[in-house]
Amino acid sequence: MQSPSDVDSVLDRVGDGPNRRIDRRRVPRYETCGSAVADFGEGPDGHVVAGVELIDSSASGLGFISPTPVPVGRPVRIYIGHSPVPDRSGRVARCIEIKGPDGRIRGWRVGLDTGYARAA
């Protein structure tokens, strides 16, 4: 019998190429668009705050494009609009470099685990 980590690595390789994966989410994900401000907290260069483009959202996570790479596990707070209270917060589950057709880096695709689904 395969361990959960073996199953995950096999599922990550299934698909029609490097950008196709089996969606293993237990809650629906919804495409979204718009901009927000991400507070990436303290880093080696001090406190990092950046504008991000929202991509998708679910009860347990949020996807966005960041202008800067973010280490996996880093806590992040997302502010939408002018609210002084974060709309979403969680930890970075993945951060993948995005390159354009010319090979230049266009940003980083960040997956934020908000953990709400585990509380139910």
Per residue in 42-69, pLDDT (tens digit) is 777 778 899 999 999 998 899 999 999 9
Q: Look at the domain 27-119 and name its fold.
A: Thrombin, subunit H (2.40.10)
Cα–Cα separations (whole angstroms), residue 5 to 11, 46, 94: 10, 34, 16
Which pLDDT belongs to residue 119? 45
pLDDT digits (tens, 9 = 90+) for 7-47: 343 334 333 334 445 455 677 888 988 999 999 987 777 78
The band of 81, judged by pLDDT with boundaries at 50, 70 and 90, is confident
- Looking at residue 109, its pLDDT comes to 96
Buried b (16+ CB within 10 A) or exposed e, 73-107: ebebbbbeeeeeebebbbebbebeeeeeeeeeeeb
- Mean pLDDT along residues 87-113: 94
Position 76 scores a pLDDT of: 94
* pLDDT reported for residue 115: 82
Distance CA 2, CA 6 (A): 6
Tell me the sheet residues that pair with 112: 62, 92
Q: What is the pLDDT of residue 23?
A: 54
- Residue spans per domain, the chain: 27-119
